[in-house]
Chains A and B, each alone.
Chain A
Amino acid sequence: MTRVLVLHLAVLAGLAALGAVLPAYHHGMMARILMLAVYAIGYNIAFGYTGLLSLGHAMFLGAGMMAAGLWVQQGGSAAAALGLGALAGLGAATLTGVLALRTAGVSFMIVTLMFAQAFYLTLLYFGAITGGDEGFPLPAAGRQLMGLDLSQDGPRYAVALAIFAVALLVQLALVRSRFGRTLVAMRENEERSRMLGYNPFTTKLAALAISGLFSGVAGAGYGLLFGYVGASFATIQYSILPMLYVLLGGAGTTLGPLLGAVLMFYLIDTASSLTELSLAVIGAALLFLVLFAPKGILGTLRDRGIRWLP
């Protein structure tokens, strides 16, 4: 456990040091990536550890973001907005899980996608409140967290890193707990888990709810840090992104979501600045991944020798 903890603390220390040296452009990018990595951590709990391949996570992200945004727009505090975002993600995931977990595999993917699409269309329908397609900016007065002005680069990065650090360490504690072992058992084989006395429905529902909570926090954090809330974060694109991050970094590894988010974010950014065929570049990268590292970068490293990697 010691070297695992040291590794995670070292990664966090590295990110803190990075915040001090990065130029302004990358500073903002990294803050954004950290929030997306929190979202990917949530996705990893459902998909990487429990085996729930969802296409509806954008709803949990969007619910967290919208709840926090509307709260701040009405004059609420940023701290409460984060909590509200977490609750919104948790609630949306629990409700989705109660209904969608009656299905499995491809059906589960389709049902979660349908829920997320319905949520997205609802946001558009109530455009007078949600800002519809255009969304709405958050007032500067509402973007103050414990004396920190989130519109400034330094505090924004610090808060992004703090949220990410909590998410990473909670994820680590969760997956190394007895409950975490149950999740992996469920992913490995649901029938065998049942044979040993575990209720697949409640276990998967708990995993999805926790995943939704992380996603809600990421949505709320993203909105608060970048001062914008919009329905576009509830589109299918935002359900696919965390899947790509997790697949690239390593599904079922604690640091995979961060690594995947960093690499994919910069790959998309760089490719789109170089060519209009950026999607082809990303496709080629994914093809390369599937062929040579099907378990993602950290998953492959774990298989090839670093067995202690969580």
Chain B
Amino acid sequence: MLRIERLSGGYGPTQVLRDVTLEVPEGEVTCVMGRNGAGKTTLMRAIMGQITRSAGQISLQGQPLQSLPAYEVPRQGIGYVPQGRRLFGAMTVAENLEIGLMTRGKGAQTRETVLALFPRLRERLDQAAGTLSGGEQQMLALARALCLDPAVLLLDEPTEGLQPSMIQLIRDTVTTLRDQGVAILLVEQRVEAVLNIADRVAFMEHGRMAEITPAQGLVPDGAIFQRYVGV
């Protein structure tokens, strides 16, 4: 589905990613873990074309993405929920969803499918996004990305700062999407969450892809987590 080959890049002259190779297959959750500054968020931003990519290839279903301008990447079917949600706070829930729907010309059917996943948003359609609770904002950020009907979904720490019931809802949604065939690349720091949800875990260190391993068989206090995440 999404293939990243020997990708290097960073912020201006500062190189952060070095030779990163990773595949995100259809219907799987690939978790990216690593210490702060390992390059997890930078990898997401590089895929979305938001930072300078100095070398390497990114392709979606065989189609190269690395030469596209940033605004073209979502149109190819990649939804991105960045850290901190980044909603349009002054716009209503309905308007935020509409902005997502318009990207790829999706209509009422997609909107209904998305709202079925997050019934609470349906009750808040006319409310300004900036006035929602943290959990509801995260729902909206995810819902807005889903309005693109994406083949690949990038989620950067989607459960950060949320209460347990909301974390469970987000996880259930991710599982549902995976079962529907969406390829999911998830940055997550909680080992327990990763073991619950991931099919594969990719560990990053100093901007490089250090190790990629199936999630099955990993244990919470395993040496691999201590080495790359420090827990």
* Chain A interface residues (CB < 8 Å from chain B): 178, 181-182, 184-185, 188-189, 191-200, 307
A196 → B minimal CB distance (Å):
5
Is B103's CB under 8 angstroms from A197's CB? yes
Chain B hits for A200, CB < 8 A: 71
**In the bound complex, what is the Cα–Cα distance between A165 and B193 (angstroms)?**
58
Is B88's CB under 8 angstroms from A189's CB? yes
Chain A hits for B99, CB < 8 A: 181-182, 185, 193, 196, 198
A296 → B minimal CB distance (Å):
15
Is A178's CB under 8 angstroms from B98's CB? yes
Confirm or deny: B50 has a beta carbon within 8 angstroms of a beta carbon on chain A. yes
**In the bound complex, what is the Cα–Cα distance between A192 and B99 (angstroms)?**
11
Confirm or deny: B203 has a beta carbon within 8 angstroms of a beta carbon on chain A. no
Is A188's CB under 8 angstroms from B75's CB? no
Chain A hits for B95, CB < 8 A: 181, 184
Chain B hits for A192, CB < 8 A: 86-88
Confirm or deny: B9 has a beta carbon within 8 angstroms of a beta carbon on chain A. no
CB-nearest residue of chain A relative to B50?
Answer: A195
Is A195's CB under 8 angstroms from B91's CB? no
Is A199's CB under 8 angstroms from B102's CB? no
B78 → A minimal CB distance (Å):
9
**In the bound complex, what is the Cα–Cα distance between A161 and B226 (angstroms)?**
74
CB-nearest residue of chain A relative to B96?
Answer: A185
Q: Jot down 26 A-B pairs with beta carbons below 8 A, ordered by A.
A: A181-B95, A181-B98, A181-B102, A182-B99, A182-B102, A184-B88, A185-B91, A188-B88, A192-B86, A193-B71, A194-B50, A194-B70, A194-B71, A195-B48, A195-B50, A195-B74, A196-B74, A196-B100, A196-B103, A197-B71, A197-B74, A197-B75, A197-B104, A197-B148, A199-B71, A200-B71
**In the bound complex, what is the Cα–Cα distance between A192 and B91 (angstroms)?**
13
A195's partner among B82, B89, B102 (CB-CB below 8 A) is B82
Confirm or deny: B72 has a beta carbon within 8 angstroms of a beta carbon on chain A. yes
CB-nearest residue of chain A relative to B126?
Answer: A307
Q: A184-B91, A188-B89, A194-B71 are in contact. List 9 more A-B contacts (CB 8 A).
A: A178-B102, A181-B98, A184-B90, A185-B99, A188-B88, A188-B91, A189-B88, A193-B99, A197-B74
Chain B hits for A178, CB < 8 A: 98, 102
Confirm or deny: B69 has a beta carbon within 8 angstroms of a beta carbon on chain A. yes
Chain A hits for B69, CB < 8 A: 199
**In the bound complex, what is the Cα–Cα distance between A252 and B99 (angstroms)?**
18
**In the bound complex, what is the Cα–Cα distance between A182 and B82 (angstroms)?**
20
CB-nearest residue of chain A relative to B130?
Answer: A188
**In the bound complex, what is the Cα–Cα distance between A263 and B69 (angstroms)?**
45
Chain B hits for A195, CB < 8 A: 48, 50, 70, 74, 80, 82, 86
**In the bound complex, what is the Cα–Cα distance between A182 and B70 (angstroms)?**
17
**In the bound complex, what is the Cα–Cα distance between A263 and B58 (angstroms)?**
56
CB-nearest residue of chain A relative to B81?
Answer: A195
Chain B hits for A197, CB < 8 A: 71-75, 103-104, 148
* Residue among B70, B73, B87 with the highest chain A CB neighbour number at 10 A: B70
B100 → A minimal CB distance (Å):
6
A116 → B minimal CB distance (Å):
30
A153 → B minimal CB distance (Å):
43
Is A185's CB under 8 angstroms from B88's CB? yes
Chain B hits for A189, CB < 8 A: 86, 88
Confirm or deny: B200 has a beta carbon within 8 angstroms of a beta carbon on chain A. no
Chain B hits for A184, CB < 8 A: 88, 90-91, 95
Is A198's CB under 8 angstroms from B71's CB? yes
Report the 8 A-B pairs with minimum CB-CB distance, sorted nearest first.
A197-B74, A197-B103, A188-B88, A197-B75, A199-B71, A194-B71, A185-B99, A192-B86
